[in-house]
Chains A and B, each alone.
Chain A
């Protein structure tokens, strides 16, 4: 595992894994969409609108997952100075932000017909919005410091401070009275969803997870290339300076 800390080895391994991940996610996404639209029944209360859940729930999970991944990478940057930790952090931020955004939008599109409103300031929705703002803050901070190493340390601190929000999102529905329903899949006592809807949801979740893993690996490979370009550009500028002197 530690040998993967070498960016060259990581590039080679990720390059081999990426096509398989992309293909597996495409196959699972096709299967998940088929199950979601043609196998899963309409809900007795929500009707057809329940089909929004098959994208809303996986994107919510991935929004939380990617922030947790960024926080673990932040620890890797600050404690172990792992060569790939800040690369992982930087590549994860836009993917997590995109999934959190999709979660909020699809939640609003489900909420309007079911609750009669696009938005309420309840604890789950508000903490999810805070998660999106944290992602945007982290992405903005990456752009404020030019040196990637220094930027990574500053971003790591911000990321770890923001991690406080992750358990708040998860447990908000238990700690406060919310309009948003409590957990119905990952809960003590098992899922409360019928198998005919649970399986399509799990297949869609796996498809989104593999897709996001492929995007993350691709993003990390590009970030390594970007740093090589930066290093070579500096070396070239130094050489031109020496020649001009």
Chain B
């Protein structure tokens, strides 16, 4: 592919790869942050009103 325009082609694919990598990383990091925050709240005993239940009753479906 050694052409006069090789730099333009390489730059195009490199920028695309960077943007896609950033999208994937952002998705993974954001998901992990929210899951951790939710787990911390639930560990402190905070539940939604719809999930509040008397002791001994089975827990509702996760979500």
The answer to whether A232 and B31 touch (CB under 8 A), given A55-B13, A56-B12, is no
Q: Size band of the A side of the interface?
A: 35 or more
Known: A231-B48, A233-B46. 7 other contacts (CB 8 A): A49-B5, A49-B8, A109-B15, A222-B34, A225-B35, A232-B46, A233-B41
Q: Cβ of A166 < 8 Å from any Cβ of B?
A: no
Residues A98 and B3 in contact, CB atoms below 8 Å apart: no
Name 7 interchain pairs, CB-CB below 8 A, sorted by A: A51-B1, A52-B9, A94-B23, A98-B19, A229-B34, A235-B47, A236-B44
Interface digits, A40-54 against B, CB 8 Å rule (1 contact, 0 not)?
000000011101100
Q: How many contacting A-B pairs (Cβ < 8 A)? A: 96
Listed in ascending order, the chain B residues whose CB lies under 8 Å from chain A are 1, 3-6, 8-9, 11-13, 15-16, 19-20, 22-24, 26-27, 30-31, 34-35, 37-38, 41-42, 44, 46-49, 61-63
Q: Separation in Å of the A90 CB from the closest CB of chain B?
A: 12
Chain A interface mostly: helix
Q: Separation in Å of the A70 CB from the closest CB of chain B?
A: 16
User: In the complex, which of the residues B6, B8, B30 contacts A222, with contact meaning CB atoms closer than 8 Å?
Assistant: B30
Q: Cβ of A20 < 8 Å from any Cβ of B?
A: no
B13 cross-chain contacts in A, Cβ below 8 A: 55
C-alpha gap A222/B3 in the complex (Å): 44
Q: Separation in Å of the A51 CB from the closest CB of chain B?
A: 5
Residues B27 and A225 in contact, CB atoms below 8 Å apart: no
Residues B3 and A47 in contact, CB atoms below 8 Å apart: yes
C-alpha gap A49/B12 in the complex (Å): 10
Residues B1 and A37 in contact, CB atoms below 8 Å apart: yes
Residues B27 and A232 in contact, CB atoms below 8 Å apart: no
The answer to whether A239 and B46 touch (CB under 8 A), given A37-B1, A109-B8, A229-B41, is yes
Q: Separation in Å of the B60 CB from the closest CB of chain A?
A: 9
Residues A222 and B27 in contact, CB atoms below 8 Å apart: yes
Listed in ascending order, the chain A residues whose CB lies under 8 Å from chain B are 7-8, 11-12, 37, 47-49, 51-52, 55-56, 59, 94-95, 98, 101-102, 105-106, 109-110, 112-113, 211, 215, 218-219, 221-222, 225-226, 228-229, 231-233, 235-236, 239
Query: Which of B5, B22, B42, B62 has the most chain A CB atoms closer than 10 A to its own CB?
Result: B5
Q: Separation in Å of the B13 CB from the closest CB of chain A?
A: 7
User: In the complex, which of the residues A7, A11, A110, A231 contacts B12, with contact meaning CB atoms closer than 8 Å?
Assistant: A110
Q: Separation in Å of the A225 CB from the closest CB of chain B?
A: 4
The answer to whether A106 and B12 touch (CB under 8 A), given A215-B24, A222-B34, A239-B46, is yes
Q: Which B residue sits closest to A36, measured CB to CB?
A: B13
C-alpha gap A228/B48 in the complex (Å): 8
